Amino acid sequence: MLAATPKLQGKSFLCEKDFSREEFLYFIELAMKLKDEKKRGITHRHLEGKNIALLFEKPSTRTRCAFTVACIDLGAHPEYLGKDDIQLGKKESIEDTAKVLGRMFDGIEFRGFEHKKVEMLAQHSGVPVWNGLTDQWHPTQTLADFLTVKENFGHLEGIQFVYVGDGRNNVANSLLVGGALVGMDVRICSPESLFPAEEIVELAKELAAKSGGNVTITSNVDEGVAGADVIYTDVWVSMGEEDQFAERIALLSPYQVNMDMIRKTGNEQVIFLHCLPAFHDLETSYGKDIYDKHGLPEMEVTNEVFRSEHSKVFDQAENRMHTIKAVMAATLGNLK
């Protein structure tokens, strides 16, 4: 049974702070319902006849596939538009492109660099716009992560959720703010030079004060991971920062998720999450290149942890689709 449906019709999904705690939790509840229906073969064509534009300025496996499959399951038609397919901001302004797309499509997903672009699409298109990742936020990832936490622990409130690694990337920002919004004990454990921006920490603290959550930013690994229910990490170098590998490896090696860190949590039930892709072995050309240049066979997470019973990363990846479906259905569908 779903809680009373919040009024989300027509709303864009750009970042966690745009939603109340109840609205954010509703997306997760709806995703659980849609996931259960899909497993039981019950169709849910809440977007029958709709057309959805999927704008990708960057490559993607999970987000693109999740939006595509979610659209089709909901009865909508997805149209993929890659960086060389349209003129977004190059030969046509974002405002003009948004107005054109809004005349033809019922909803727009955007993955790119500047957060301003997704805000402008939402401002000018007249249809719901969904953020598939910008330099600042990755909110559809947060929903999938929290659904995975809820599946494992039954609740989100009070969960000791620890993100280790680069504490100022889009995933860290989203988890910090999202965790505070839903009442988690959320911690960022990273080198001081990679602490989240002050305004993000302040925002998270304000939200935690309302939700009963807690926010900790620390560079001390022992302190940061003690008692953790969830250990989460992301790549040490984000797309576009590849020239910083040597510096990042030196800075972040003490924050690698390995079995020693898992033991330090003192919690046998601790789960490991990663938004993926992860560098945990030498099965990629990228990983081999790093190994040749820097001698590292694994980076932010060891293969042992990645393949251990603590790891829920493939459930988490699957949950991208169920949660993205919930966002589209709630903001564009005709849910009773």
Q: Which residues are catalytic?
A: 111, 138, 141, 234, 275, 320
276 binds ligand CP (CB under 6 A): yes
280 binds ligand CP (CB under 6 A): no
In the set 12, 63, 134, 319, which binds ligand CP (CB under 6 A)? 63
SS3 for the chain, per residue?
CCCCCCCCCCCCECCHHHCCHHHHHHHHHHHHHHHHHHHCCCCCCCCCCCEEEEEECCCCCHHHHHHHHHHHHCCCEEEEEECCCCCECCCECHHHHHHHHHHHCCEEEEECCCHHHHHHHHHHHCCCEEECCCCCCCHHHHHHHHHHHHHHHCCCCCCEEEEECCCCCHHHHHHHHHHHHHCCEEEEECCHHHCCCHHHHHHHHHHHHHHCCEEEEECCHHHHHCCCCEEEECCCCCCCCHHHHHHHHHHHHHHCECHHHHHHCCCCCCEEEECCCCCCCCCCHHHHHHHHHHCCCCCCECHHHHCCCCECHHHHHHHHHHHHHHHHHHHHCCCC
Question: 107-111 and 51-56: which strand pairing?
Answer: parallel
Q: Which is nearer to ligand CP, 163 or 217 (CB)?
A: 163
In the set 12, 136, 141, 173, which binds ligand CP (CB under 6 A)? 141
Nearest approach, Cβ of residue 224 and ligand CP (Å): 23
60 binds ligand CP (CB under 6 A): yes
Cβ neighbors of 226 (< 8 A, separation 6 or more) are 264, 265, 266
Q: Which is nearer to ligand CP, 12 or 140 (CB)?
A: 140
Q: Which is nearer to ligand CP, 73 or 145 (CB)?
A: 145
Q: Which is nearer to ligand CP, 316 or 331 (CB)?
A: 316
238 binds ligand CP (CB under 6 A): no
Per-residue x/- mask for ligand CP, residues 20 to 59, rule CB under 6 A? ----------------------------------------
Q: Which is nearer to ligand CP, 141 or 169 (CB)?
A: 141
Nearest approach, Cβ of residue 60 and ligand CP (Å): 3
In the set 70, 74, 108, 133, which binds ligand CP (CB under 6 A)? 133
Nearest approach, Cβ of residue 146 and ligand CP (Å): 14
275 binds ligand CP (CB under 6 A): yes
Nearest approach, Cβ of residue 199 and ligand CP (Å): 24
Q: Which is nearer to ligand CP, 72 or 335 (CB)?
A: 72
* Touching ligand CP, residues 83-122 (CB under 6 A): none
**Residues engaged in binding ligand CP (CB under 6 A):** 60-63, 133, 141, 275-276
